[in-house]
Amino acid sequence: MSGTPQILRAKLNKGRPAIVVTHRLTTAMHADVIHVIEQGRIVESGNHDELLRTRRSVCRVMEQADERHGERWSIQGMMTGMRLENQLLLCVARRSVDTATVERIRSLVEQELNWEYSLDSADRHGLMPLLYRHLSYGCPEVMPEDVRIKLKHEFLNNSRWTLYLTSELLRIVKFLEDNGISAVGFKGPLLSLAAYGDIALRQFWDLDILVDKRDFRRTKALLESEGYASDLRLTAAQQSSHLRFDCEVPFRHAESGCVVDLHWGLAPKRFPSSLTQEDIFKRLQTIKVGKHALRTFSNEDLLLFLCVHGAKHLWSRLEWICAVAELVRNSEGIDWTTVVELAKKSHGLRRLLLGLMLARDLQPELDIPGPVFAAVPDCESLQRCAERLRERIFEIKSEKENQTGIFLFHLIAMDRKLDAFIGLLRSMLLPTVSDWRLVTLPDALYPLYYVLRPIRLAAEYSAALGKWIRSRTRFLMKSPT
């Protein structure tokens, strides 16, 4: 059975034997005998004190992980010194809230909030539906009327749009499969159902479909026959480079405005990841969407992808963290051994753990097995990285403002440090759409893009550095001595 320390102590005090299966060492600390099972076999046995005496004990690592998360990672700690509007967003970043959180939300709403900032931040972090849900259910009478009307309007608009996108996803996938294309939807409404159980509780603006790279040109032609078109006007050489080094192309419908991001990979080459389309297709699951069924990523692959995707974008949106937490909370039967094995195989273990740290930071009650955190023996650098991400999550920054910081982040978050250097070199040298739009060259002269890109980047960042130096100089001159 599963149990809390209080339940276990009560049964032991009554002299009744109890067998407890748990992922947390603190739950079993008062047991007479603890058996540690790893990969189907008992690797350690003893009482709590005996197991902790062994320096390299699995239990010792689990205990340290529990201590770190108990001391450092709490939503109360996140809110210390934080403006009230941001505290409100942290409280609503979950599918359901307990009584204490409802009271906390009410106390925040009763204060003088900058609602324009609150709504803008909620929209930027993808939390408008959750903000409306928890405010309208928990404290509708204290919410300003104009705010209530605006939130309801946005919620209904989002609901209508997500319903349309869901029906369009069903139609497109069927259309592609009828034409012999194996197409798999992910994120969008499928993530909404997996994490929140309701497509209306998450903001998404486009559809993501994964196909085999060999089917890209046929899929492109089929989408174009349905009124979709890409804004990318690429030459043959540019398209070949894009297929080789990137992972997606957006297609927009001329009438509805619906955007389909057509993927043949899960990350661009400048952000190295060994999680491949071929591997994903081997482990697909089927999810019910109304009366229909759609193939999508397994829960294990989806969790790993979300953590890689979040790391790629420096976890700059709170909903990305919330989605990881809710997926862990609401998914039935996540095989954590498989998750760790897939993460190791795809060299994404540190990115996985970073995402899980942030998720448990946001929702401290989240049940994540201790051995998952123990998979990386020294995760102090990841914890410091998570702290920095937490501190900057409400800052409005462009990812291009600090390339050095981005590189250092990837150096910490990637399993293989060489991947961070490879990613940096590829970012500096590999031509992208912005280079092709800036200068149009015939395919015969395509190699010149490899020279033009570093020159363009050097000019851009030199100008940015000069602007920063001038601003600092003006600031120092105005500062009192």
User: Would you give the distance in Å from CA 20 to the centre of its chain?
Assistant: 32
CA–CA gap between residue 352 and residue 307 (Å, rounded): 5
Structure tokens at 2: 């599963």
> Which residue has 């989408």 as its token pair?
223
> Which residue has 């409100």 as its token pair?
88
CA–CA gap between residue 332 and residue 338 (Å, rounded): 14
The pLDDT value recorded for residue 298 is: 95
DSSP for 236-254, please give it.
HHHHHHHHHH--EEEEEET
Bridge partner list, 288: 293
Kindly list the distances between the CA atom of residue 422 and the CA atoms of 36, 204, 273, 428, 460, in Å, as whole numbers in the listed order: 39, 32, 11, 10, 21
- Measured in residues, the chain has a length of 481
Q: What is the pLDDT along the chain (481 residues), one digit of tens a residue?
A: 333 444 444 444 455 677 777 655 555 655 778 887 866 778 788 876 666 555 445 555 555 444 444 434 445 555 667 899 999 999 999 999 999 999 999 999 999 999 999 999 999 999 999 999 999 998 899 999 999 999 999 999 999 999 999 999 999 999 999 999 999 999 999 999 999 999 999 999 999 999 999 999 999 999 999 999 998 889 999 999 999 999 999 999 999 999 999 999 999 988 888 888 899 999 999 999 989 999 999 999 999 999 999 999 999 999 999 999 999 998 777 999 999 999 999 999 999 999 999 999 999 988 888 888 888 877 888 988 999 898 889 987 654 556 677 888 888 899 998 998 998 899 899 999 999 999 999 999 999 999 999 998 888 777 655 665 666 565 555 555 4
Q: Are 346 and 62 in contact (CB under 8 A)?
A: no
CA–CA gap between residue 457 and residue 68 (Å, rounded): 41
Q: Are 130 and 92 in contact (CB under 8 A)?
A: yes
Bridge partner list, 286: 295
The pLDDT value recorded for residue 158 is: 97
CA–CA gap between residue 452 and residue 458 (Å, rounded): 10
The pLDDT value recorded for residue 465 is: 59
Strands 259-263 and 206-210: parallel
Specify the pTM: 0.80
- Burial pattern 4-40, b for ≥16 Cβ within 10 A else e, equals ebeebeeeeeeeeebebebebbbbbbebeebebeeee
The pLDDT value recorded for residue 376 is: 85
DSSP for 59-79, please give it.
HHHHHHHHHHHHHH--HHHHH
What is the biggest distance separating any 2 CA atoms in the chain, rounded to whole angstroms?
A: 84
CA–CA gap between residue 180 and residue 267 (Å, rounded): 25
Q: Are 57 and 34 in contact (CB under 8 A)?
A: no
**For residue 285, with 0-12 CB atoms within 10 Å meaning exposed, 13-18 middle and 19 or more buried, which class applies?**
middle
CA–CA gap between residue 251 and residue 208 (Å, rounded): 10
- Of 405, 407, 422, nearest to 272 (Cα)? 422
> Which residue has 């060999």 as its token pair?
214
DSSP for 273-294, please give it.
----HHHHHHT-EEEEETTEEE
DSSP for 310-365, please give it.
HHHTTT--HHHHHHHHHHHHH-S---HHHHHHHHHHTT-HHHHHHHHHHHHHHSTT
> Which strands make up the sheet holding 206-210, listed edge to edge?
184-186, 206-210, 259-263, 248-253, 228-230
**CATH topology for 75-397?**
Beta Polymerase; domain 2 (3.30.460)
Phi then psi dihedrals of residue 261, to 5 deg: -90, 110
**H-run or E-run covering 5:** helix 5-13
